[in-house]
Structures are given as structure tokens and as C-alpha cells.
Amino acid sequence: MIRKIVLYIALSLTLITVGYFSFIYYIPYSEGVRSGELIKISHKGFVVKTWEGELSQGISGAQIFAFSIMDNETAIIEQLKQNQGKKVTLEYEERYKTFFWWGDTRYFVTKVSLEK
């Protein structure tokens, strides 16, 4: 009897954990597009390195869009490196939450295009 209860509790906790991580990983909160001058792209971190960037959307320093890039998005990382200092358009997904091994922000770039 007690073994069944412990088994049900363990199974429930496992399903809740898997559901939570799946929700965070697969379900975006919003999607959008931002344009501006790409002012920073860096690979930072002490133990876990993540790709982070900043996009200036105006004259004021208050209009900085901070974003992250997933490690497996090597093509996007290379495009950002090549277009540093140029005007770009970024398509992104906003997540409900993030994990420390993904990046510092909830905004993840999915596409980069150079403005003409």
C-alpha cells in the first residue's frame, strides 16, 4: 500500500517536471520583429557560456534591446558576428521563462536580416 503511494507520488512529480520543462521549451509567449543597429554580440559566462547581444533602437541608451541566441543556432550567430555595427532586423521569440544554460534574457533570436 505505501509502496503504491510512493510510486504514484514519484510518477506525479516526474510528469509535472517533464510537463513544466516541455512547456518552457516548446511554447513561446510571443513572437516579434525589432530593427536597429547591432551593437554587441558576445559569448559570456564563467561555467556555462551563453550567446548574448544588444540592439540599439534609437539615440538614447534606454532603447537597448537585449537578446540571447541558442547555442545550436550557429548560422544566426555567424550572421550576427558579420553584421556587427550594421542595421539589422531580428525576428525573435519571447519565452515565459528561461534556464541559466540558455541565456540571460527571455528573448531568443530566430532570424537575422540586413536592412537595406
The domain ranges of the chain are 28-114
What is the distance between the alpha carbons of residues 49 and 54, in angstroms, rounded to a whole number? 17
pLDDT in tens, 81-103: 999 989 999 999 998 888 888 88
Question: Would you state the torsion angle of the CA atoms of residues 42, 43, 45, 50, taken in this order, to the nearest 10 degrees?
Answer: 110
pLDDT at 102: 83
Q: What is the mean pLDDT of the chain?
A: 89
pLDDT at 103: 84
How much is the pTM? Answer: 0.79
100, 29, 84: which is closest to 112 by C-alpha?
84
What is the distance between the alpha carbons of residues 108 and 94, in angstroms, rounded to a whole number? 6
Q: Are strands 50-56 and 64-69 parallel, antiparallel or unpaired?
A: antiparallel
**DSSP reduced 3-state for 73:** coil
Identify the CATH number of the domain defined by range 28-114: 2.40.50.140
Q: Which residue has the cell 533602437?
A: 57
Q: How would residue 61 be classed by pLDDT, with cut points 50, 70 and 90?
A: low
pLDDT at 115: 83
pLDDT at 11: 95
